[in-house]
Amino acid sequence: MLDTNQLLRFTTAGSVDDGKSTLIGRLLYDSKSIFEDQLEAIENTSKKKGHEGVDLALFTDGLRDEREQGITIDVAYRYFTTPKRKFIIADTPGHIQYTRNMVTGASTANAALILIDARHGVIEQTKRHSFIASLLQIPHIIVCVNKMDLVDFSQEIYSNIITEFEKFSSKLMVKDIRFIPMSALEGDNVVNRSKSMDWYDGAPLLHTLETLHISSDINKVDARFAVQTVLRPQGDTFRDYRGYAGRVNSGIYRPGDEVTVLPSGFTSIIKTIDTLEGTIEEAYAPMSVSITLEDDIDISRGDMIVKSNNKPEPSQDLDIMLCWLNDKPARDRAKYTIKHTTNEQKAMIKEIVYKVDVNTYGRNSEDKSLIMNDIARVKVRTTKPLMAESYRKNRSTGSVILVDDNTNETVAAGMII
Query: Closest distance between other proteins and the C-beta of residue 278, in Å?
Result: 10
Q: Is 25 exposed, middle or buried (0-12, 13-18, 19+ CB in 10 A)?
A: buried
Q: Which is nearer to other proteins, 63 or 269 (CB)?
A: 63
Q: Which is nearer to other proteins, 275 or 364 (CB)?
A: 275
Give the helix, strand, coil percentages of the chain, each rounded to 5. Answer: 20, 35, 45
Query: Closest distance between other proteins and the C-beta of residue 381, in Å?
Result: 20
Q: Which is nearer to other proteins, 267 or 275 (CB)?
A: 275
Report the chain's terminal Cα–Cα distance, integer Å. Answer: 40
Contact indicator for 39, 137 with CB cutoff of 8 Å: no
Query: Closest distance between other proteins and the C-beta of residue 248, in Å?
Result: 9
Q: 228 to each of 212, 248, 311, 318, how far by Cα in Å?
A: 32, 11, 19, 23
Q: Which is nearer to other proteins, 160 or 390 (CB)?
A: 390
Q: Which is nearer to other proteins, 20 or 147 (CB)?
A: 20
Q: Which is nearer to other proteins, 103 or 118 (CB)?
A: 103
Task: Name which of 268, 251, 262, 267 is nearest 312 in CA terms.
Answer: 262
Q: Give the H or E element holding residue 36.
A: helix 36-48
DSSP string computed for 75-106:
-EEEEEE-SSEEEEEEE--SSTTHHHHHHHHH
Q: Which is nearer to other proteins, 156 or 405 (CB)?
A: 405
Q: Give the H or E element holding residue 273.
A: strand 267-275
Contact indicator for 222, 389 with CB cutoff of 8 Å: yes
Query: Closest distance between other proteins and the C-beta of residue 13, in Å?
Result: 16
How many Cβ atoms from other residues are within 10 Å of residue 118's Cβ? Answer: 25
Query: Closest distance between other proteins and the C-beta of residue 266, in Å?
Result: 21
Q: Which is nearer to other proteins, 99 or 146 (CB)?
A: 99
Distance CA 17, CA 116 (A): 10
Burial 63-97 (b: 16+ CB within 10 A, else e): eeebeeeebbebbbebebebebbebbbbbbbbeeb
Query: Closest distance between other proteins and the C-beta of residue 64, in Å?
Result: 5
Three-state DSSP at 236 gives coil
Query: Closest distance between other proteins and the C-beta of residue 117, in Å?
Result: 26
DSSP string computed for 150-214:
GGTT-HHHHHHHHHHHHHHHTTS--SEEEEEE-BTTTTBTTTBPPSS-TT--S--HHHHHHH---
Q: Which is nearer to other proteins, 267 or 310 (CB)?
A: 310
Dihedral through CA 71, CA 76, CA 81, CA 86, nearest 10? 140
Query: Closest distance between other proteins and the C-beta of residue 130, in Å?
Result: 19
Query: Closest distance between other proteins and the C-beta of residue 74, in Å?
Result: 6
Region of residue 121 (phi > 0: left; psi between -120 and 50: alpha; otherwise: beta): left
Q: Which is nearer to other proteins, 56 or 413 (CB)?
A: 413
Residue type, 291: I
Query: Closest distance between other proteins and the C-beta of residue 187, in Å?
Result: 20
